[in-house]
Structure 1
Amino acid sequence: MKVIKPAEAKLNPAIINKQKEMLECAKRYGMTDSRTVLCSQQLDVLLNKQLKSSLSLTG
């Protein structure tokens, strides 16, 4: 069974919320709008943090 760090547990809802926000921006403003791109970049940061966290658990 995988042990989830507290920081990782908090990150998953943040990722889900940012995904929803990005999809809403894309629907409202289009895929190439600067607001959508900004949301996408913010989501990338969250995903990278989660990846680093999961890698530190395995190694």
Structure 2
Amino acid sequence: MMLDRIGAEKACATSIVVFAAKSQFPEHSHPLCEEVLVLIGTFTENEDQHYLAGW
């Protein structure tokens, strides 16, 4: 669910997303901003950056 968006394709976007365990998505960039709040489990970025619930 998109909550807020500033800009076009390479935007600053705030969304609510539920990922299934072991989900993957292509590498991409958000030059304006990216917000992530992990509620359950661990979000891993670039295979070596791990964000636990509450991050």
Task: Work out which structure has the larger RCO, using CA pairs closer than 8 Å and 6 or more positions apart in sequence.
Answer: 1
TM-score (norm 1): 0.22
Q: Higher strand proportion, which one?
A: 2
Structure label with greater radius of gyration: 1
TM-score (norm 2): 0.23
